Amino acid sequence: MTKAKLDKKEKQSELEKYRDLVTVTLDYYINGKGLYGNSDYFTKLKVDVEEHYQRGRLTRLKQWFHDLTEMFVECRDLKFNKYLSDNTKYDVNIFQSHFHRIEKIINKGKIMTDNQFYDTNIMVDRLCQIEPIDSEKIEILNKLIRDYEERKSKRTKSPST
């Protein structure tokens, strides 16, 4: 099943949204003061973004947003997500799948794999950096982490003879 084509008004709205999101993402790179590379490069890309917007290249802007935010998703930079919300009128959650995985772990009440352990640790680290601090969720996640570490250490201890 294919998506229905956007009408002119919807496309214009999407173009504005992705122009704003990509521009703010580039600002985040630029404000990183060299952390992400040459800020002149990202400044030049902002000019290209405006050109793509003017020419109605929605697919290109969406792809740029995906490409530019991929690193923040992989690094679990939750501050970036807040930066997007604070600097645009859009409520975008680039970490939705990560949050969903964490909620499943919480609902299950148990960390089962090293990957889940890793994801949970990252979530605790990030939650500690975001205001307001969600102490209740941090406490729940820390308990799951401790339980997993205890189970894992019991499995790896060799019996003493």
Please, are residues 148 and 121 in contact by the beta-carbon 8 Å criterion?
no
Share of the chain above pLDDT 70, in %: 91
Backbone phi, psi, residue 34, to 5°: 90, -10
- The per-residue pLDDT for range 136-161, each reduced to its tens digit, is 999 999 999 999 999 988 887 656 54
Residue with tokens 């939650």: 127
Per-position b or e across 70-96, b if 16+ CB within 10 A of its CB: eebbeebbbebbebbeeeeeeeeebbe
CA distance 138 to 141: 5
pLDDT band at 1 (very low <50, low <70, confident <90, very high): very low
